[in-house]
Structure 1
Amino acid sequence: MEYSIRTTWDQRPITHSPIQITLSKEDKSPEKVKVTVQGQFFNDPPNPGGKTGEAFPGLWDFEVAEVFFLNDNNQYLEVELSPHGQHLVLLLKAERDAFKTELPLEYTATITGDQWIGTAYIPCGYFPPRVSKFNAYAIHGAGENRVYQSLYPVPTGKYKNPDFHRLDYFADIDLKNLLPQNWAASYHSDLWRPIIGTKSFSISTTWDGHPINHDPITLQINKLDDKDQVKVIARGPLFNDPQNPGGVPGQPFDQLWDYEVAEAFFLNEENQYLEVELCPHGQHLVLLLKGRRDSFKTKLPMNYTATITKGKWEGVAYIPAEYFPPKVSKFNAYAIHGSGSDRVYQSLYPTPKDKYTDPDFHRLEYFQQIHFEDILPSNWMASYKSDLWNHQESK
């Protein structure tokens, strides 16, 4: 696989020969991916110091090429390579959320005149499971002359500043051919094993795909090995609009969607789905639906607590396994706040801009894939049983 970085971070053409990046495999090292970087050497900034062949923290502040490998759960590997021989490897479990840094890497670089070439061998275990997207970057220059370049850039004029962690602009990559074991059901990584059972999402757009102008609501879905349930954590800014709807914290509250709320929907291929609504004031609402808007269970009990601190809130819910329809395969999440004409509806996976005039969180065709078997393996087993759903399917 060969790539050329021909544009700036915001899609403007560059004025020099591009950085070339090649991804390949070798028969001698089937458990590694070979990354070759070559291109123009600017020596600006100059050599940052440190030892060649070793990790260097903050390498992104110097002349560097970077490759990012992302999966559908926003888990990704970031590899930074310097023409002077230093490197930096980070594993991130969500946008900007690194849990491993400065990992060792087999890497060498040489400089010849105004050109450089670097070769790295990335171990299979560094990649998150089922890598599906990719981006690459190059940086050089200092101060006002700092230049940020991107393989898959953002649209010109959409953002004021470069940010290489805008994951929605990454493009597809077929890592199955390059590293088939990364997509195998038996894939194992000691580094990623504690993270695989956690999926993180950030609701950064309105229901119809427009960017929001405040910190997003985030949802974290966690596997619990010792309990037959799923933990969901919602976090974000508190608008307190509408205000506390009343009721009893920790108890169901009917029509909670009319208040400030975060929502998570878990869908299977039969259009059966679980809807979970979480309020910053402690109320919740859980519904089971056997088709679009066709609920047959509502106000189910759930262990849920919420706290408000300094303009922010956090809600923690424990969802029993039996609430999920069998073989959950798709997901969407939402956030709502505001009153009257200022009511704001936000979506993780929005509908296309200008296609609809009104929000509707039950447009199931816009839900996207989730590997729910990583979170709740029993949900995908042939032996999965739920008195709630089995009774419904028998009708």
Structure 2
Amino acid sequence: MSSAMTFNISTIWDGRPIDHDPVIISLDRDRCNNVIMSVDAPFFNDPANPGGTPGQPFPGLWDYEVAEAFFLNDQNDYLEVELSPHGQHLLLLLHGVRNSFKQQLPLTYKATIKNDRWTGEATIPSSYFPPKVTKFNAYAIHGSGTNRTYESLYPVPTGKYKDPDFHKLDYFQPINFKGLLASNWSPQYTSDEWKQYYPNMTYKISTIWDGQPIYHDPVIISLEKDGHNNVIMSVDAPFFNDPANPGGTPGQPFSGLWDYEVAEAFFLNDQNDYLEVELSPHGQHLLLLLHGVRKSFKQQLPLTYTATIKNDRWTGKATIPGSYFPPKVTKFNAYAIHGSGTNRTYESLYPVPAGKYTDPDFHKLDYFQPINFKGLLPGNWSPQYTSEEWKPYYPIVG
């Protein structure tokens, strides 16, 4: 099935109809996981060529004849793409409304003018898009002075605003970007351009608890934020079915889950307070809050969690409320367990030194490693951070 999408810009910015053929913007993907943005539009030649080098960025391109596309996610992070009939382009990354933090990104772009029409094709690297794009809008501008015309795919309501503003994000509409570029929605999606706001947090557990290598595909644990101060923890792992299903209700806590097949993640702060998350391929879970080594004071916290087994692999997705984490998480470790009896296997992301200990112990906090949790969940590091779950040790003031 084709992933191509085509949009006709047939209205002025405030919903009135245009009086010429519409600007047509099409989106597709290529074999290299780029998005191809194509433009087929009437050519007004007003304003005239801005004079920049074709194929290169041009600051202030929005002051000329241009076609634009905005790609938005639920955190109000977005990519703005501007294309000129004369070959110049301008790409901006924005973190919040009009808050541009990168401009003039390089782009493979070519435009052609033929009589009274122009076409353009841009190859947009997938890493330019913020994670999990959900909404979209497209625009076109031409004309000078009182004849300056601003057109919009999804306009604002007629009469509600006095002047055009292409950053009215509330009026953007849904786009099936997952269908266009599935990797943008993957828990393993990473981007150098967006890493200051979406740090790479995909971890592969490739060693036994004492540093010996494993001999199967690693358990992969990914962390990302959503738009509601939650952390999404995803698991992609081999399925051993050993031990068998513990029998608890899927989606509910299960005491002693660590005795079964499980993937785990520990989130630690500098006061040795930590959250332990255990996820089963069969849908059960177990969350514990600990104040000091092994000193659990809350267990079996509720969790939105689903798991799926398919042949010899399983995946799971948990939505962990921000309030479950102790303040100012600084370190992390992850684990996986499977097998029975003498085949019981304990695996660790950050293992202890080989030969130092005789038995596995996942609470060796000194071997946890730094995590940029502030980048993942900034609210956890805020001086105003509060948590009902942790208030016995971090009282809520005020």
Q: When the two structures are superposed, what TM-score results if normalisation uses the length of structure 2?
A: 0.52
Contact 2:69 2:136 in 1 (8 A): yes
Which residue, out of 189, 193, 196, partners 1:187? Answer: 189
Question: 1:196 offset after TM fit, Å?
Answer: 2.5
Match of 2:15 among 11, 14, 19: 11
Give the Cα separation in 2 of the matches to 1:166 and 1:227: 40
CA pair 387-138 structure 1, distance change in 2 beyond 3 A: closer
Amino acid paired to 2:65 = E
CA contact (8 A) 1:139 1:147 kept: yes
Stretches of structure 2 that go unaligned for 5 or more consecutive residues are: 200-227, 232-266, 271-300, 302-322, 329-373, 381-387, 394-398
Residue in 2 aligned with 1:150?
Answer: 152
Identify the residue that residue 104 of structure 1 maps to in structure 2. Answer: 106
Give the 3-state SS of the residue equivalent to 2:178 in structure 1: helix
What residue identity is the alignment partner of 2:117? Q
Counting matched residue pairs gives 225
Report the equivalent of 1:132: 134
**C-alpha offsets along residues 28-63 of structure 1, whole Å, 9 cap, x if unaligned?**
x2x200000011000000000010000000000000
Question: Of 16, 21, 24, which residue of structure 1 is paired with 2:25?
Answer: 21
Over the aligned positions, Cα root-mean-square deviation in angstroms equals 3.5
Give the letter aligned to residue 99 of structure 1. Answer: F
**Partners of 1:135 and 1:82 in 2: CA distance:** 17
Which deviations, in whole Å up to 9, do the C-alpha atoms of 1:318-347 show, x marking residues without a partner?
A: x994379xxxxxxxxxxxxxxxxxxxxxxx
Q: What is the deviation of 1:374?
A: 3.8
CA distance, structure 2, for counterparts of residue 172 and residue 95 of structure 1:
18
Q: 1:323 to 1:80 in 2, by over 3 A?
A: same
Q: Residues 17-166 of structure 1 correspond to what in structure 2 (within 5 A)?
A: 17-27=21-31, 29=32, 31-166=33-168
Using the alignment, how far apart are the partners of 1:169 and 1:94 within structure 2? 15
Correspondence 1:198-217 to 2 at 5 A: none
Give the one of 177, 180, 185 matched to 1:178: 180
Alignment of 1:188-337 (within 5 A): 188-196=190-198, 228=269, 321-322=325-326
Return the letter of the residue paired with 1:145: N
Match of 1:136, SS state, is strand
Q: How much identity, in percent, do the aligned residues show?
A: 54
Bigger radius of gyration among the two: 2
Q: Please give the per-residue CA displacement for 1:265-300, whole angstroms capped at 9, x wherever unaligned.
A: xxxxxxxxxxxxxxxxxxxxxxxxx9xxxxxxxxxx
Q: Contact 2:12 / 2:152 at 8 angstroms: preserved in 1?
A: yes
Give the CA deviation at 1:76.
0.1
Tell me if the contact between 2:269 and 2:327 (Cα under 8 Å) persists in the aligned partners. no
- Runs of 4+ aligned residues of structure 1 deviating over 2 Å after TM superposition are 220-223, 226-229, 319-324, 385-390
* TM-score in terms of structure 1 length: 0.52
Q: Secondary structure at the match of 1:322?
A: coil
